[in-house]
């Protein structure tokens, strides 16, 4: 059985995973994909920037949709179900990548703002694949962690849950990993509005690597001025456009790439390929191996303070200050436009996860600290 496959141009390894079953594989720009491009397509593989709905799929022969993402807010699953089109996504594929991104952010804040983050109270909003890993990683450092996920709590899965207002009041650092929803009992659209942001302690930190529209932009800028709120954003309220006032207001910025590790991308494509093979009863697909990770010599980053030393090593793998500088340099007078935003994501440098890295010549006291970050290979 052979299939005509249309895939987002930014998905890695589509060819090695899918070519044994492909009559053709055509790459497209996910943001501007139209129904006309799918007139001969059997399989559609997308990322979060493509809205998959009736407008896109009506009149096309598409019989399988896969999204190499954790979230599904860009997919009209009701329509797909009504049309009997199988849908699969990749929950958890890049969760570790987001955790590593967050750790790099915190290391940069430690060095630039003397933020002793592991000794603060951290609130995590959204305890799904990403949020649960974030909360567990903080606990490795002995950090006090508060969690909020009303959906899980309602299902009896999160007895330690506290309401959002209480979490905001008590937290020095709030990490947002909630999905974007516009309906239901627990809608998240602009849930962080002026009233709620005003509850946060003066000079506290808000870090969002979930979905941009869960925060109201005007309220965020107001809280920055009135309450000294410190902001770090990977996702943006009006993404893919980013206003210059908001870009100027944040301490660190990145173009929705927290989950963009090589490992996360590989895993997302693999999960879709295996689901595709199972759906159509195809023979097992051979694995596509990851490239070897890098080795970092700890002596090159030596500092007398072990926490600073560890922070320098983490930042050697990925430094969010680079993304911040690139975004600001790329912005026009009024905004970073959608085309530029997408280009930054498309041309994003390869980033490896912490666990893939080998650390050489680290003394025991440094190894102990690095293991808290997730490093596992030493020599």
Q: Is 216 a catalytic residue?
A: no
The bridge status of strand 335-336 relative to strand 242-243 is antiparallel
Among residues 369, 128, 268, 326, which one has the least CA distance to residue 276? 268
**Sorting pLDDT into bands at 50, 70 and 90, what band is 374?**
very high
Which of 211, 224, 352, 369 is flagged as catalytic?
A: 211
Q: Which residues sit in the known binding site for substrate?
A: 48, 69, 260
How far, in Å, CA of 163 to CA of 111, rounded? 32
Over residues 204-224, mean pLDDT: 98
**How does pLDDT run across 138-148, given as a tens digit for each residue?**
999 999 999 99
Over residues 55-60, mean pLDDT: 96
Among residues 100, 74, 376, 107, which one has the least CA distance to residue 44? 74
Over residues 71-95, mean pLDDT: 95
Q: Which residues sit in the known binding site for NAD(+)?
A: 149, 234, 259
pLDDT beyond 90 at 71: no
Sheet holding 22-28, edge to edge: 22-28, 3-8, 43-46, 64-67, 87-89
Distance (Å) of CA 320 to CA 19, 212, 317: 36, 18, 10
| Residues 204 and 230 sit within 8 Å (Cβ to Cβ) | yes
pLDDT on residue 311: 98
pLDDT beyond 80 at 285: no
**Sorting pLDDT into bands at 50, 70 and 90, what band is 287?**
confident
pLDDT beyond 80 at 284: no
Angle at 277 between CA 271 and CA 279, to 5 degrees: 100
pLDDT on residue 286: 79
Which of 74, 129, 196, 256 is flagged as catalytic?
A: 256
The percentage of residues in the chain with a pLDDT greater than 90, rounded to a whole number, is 94
Q: Is 256 a catalytic residue?
A: yes
Which of 216, 217, 239, 353 is flagged as catalytic?
A: 239
Average pLDDT across the chain, whole number: 96
**How does pLDDT run across 85-127, given as a tens digit for each residue?**
999 999 999 999 999 999 999 999 999 999 999 999 999 999 9
**DSSP 8-state code for residue 161:** B
- Read out DSSP for 310-369? HHHHHHHH--HHHHHHHHHHH--SSEE-HHHHHHHHHTPPPB--GGG-EEES--HHHHHH
pLDDT beyond 80 at 309: yes
Structural domains in the chain, CATH included, are 3-89 (3.40.50.720), 95-253 (3.40.50.720), 295-378 (3.30.1370.170)
Over residues 53-72, mean pLDDT: 95
The answer to whether the pTM exceeds 0.85 is yes
Angle between helices 129-140 and 95-113 (to 10 degrees): 50
């Amino acid at each position: 059985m052979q299939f005509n496959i249309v895939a987002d141009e930014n998905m890695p390894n589509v060819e090695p995973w899918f070519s044994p079953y492909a009559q053709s594989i055509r790459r497209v720009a996910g943001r501007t994909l139209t129904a006309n491009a799918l007139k001969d397509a059997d399989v559609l593989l997308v990322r979060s920037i493509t809205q998959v709905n009736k407008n896109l799929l009506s009149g096309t022969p598409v019989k399988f949709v896969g999204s190499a993402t954790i979230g599904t807010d860009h997919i009209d699953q009701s329509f797909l179900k009504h049309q009997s089109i199988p849908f699969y996504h990749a929950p958890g594929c890049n969760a570790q990548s987001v955790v590593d991104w967050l750790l790099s952010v915190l290391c940069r804040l430690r060095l630039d703002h003397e933020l002793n983050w592991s000794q603060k109270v951290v609130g995590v909003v959204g305890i799904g694949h990403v949020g649960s890993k974030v909360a567990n990683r903080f606990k490795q450092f002995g950090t006090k962690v508060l969690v909020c996920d009303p959906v899980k709590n309602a299902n009896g899965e999160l007895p330690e849950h506290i309401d959002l207002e209480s979490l905001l009041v008590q937290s020095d650092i709030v990490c947002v990993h909630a999905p974007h929803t516009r309906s239901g009992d627990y809608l998240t659209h602009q849930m962080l509005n002026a009233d709620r942001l005003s509850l946060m302690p003066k000079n506290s930190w808000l870090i969002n690597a979930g979905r941009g529209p869960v925060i109201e932009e005007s309220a965020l800028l107001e809280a920055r001025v009135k309450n000294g709120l410190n902001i770090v954003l990977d996702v943006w309220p009006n993404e893919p456009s980013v206003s210059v006032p908001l870009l100027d207001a944040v301490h660190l910025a990145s173009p929705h790439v927290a989950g963009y590790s090589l490992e996360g991308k590989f895993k997302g494509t693999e999960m879709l390929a295996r689901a595709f093979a199972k759906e159509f009863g195809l023979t097992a697909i051979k694995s596509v191996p990851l490239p070897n990770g890098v080795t970092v010599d700890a002596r090159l980053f030596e500092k007398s303070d072990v926490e600073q030393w560890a922070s320098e090593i983490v930042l050697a793998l990925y430094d969010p200050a680079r993304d911040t500088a690139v975004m600001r340099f790329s912005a026009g007078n009024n905004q970073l436009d959608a085309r530029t935003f997408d280009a930054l994501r498309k041309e994003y440098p390869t980033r490896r996860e912490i666990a893939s890295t080998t650390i050489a010549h680290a003394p025991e006291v440094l190894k102990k600290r690095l293991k808290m970050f997730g490093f596992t290979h030493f020599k």
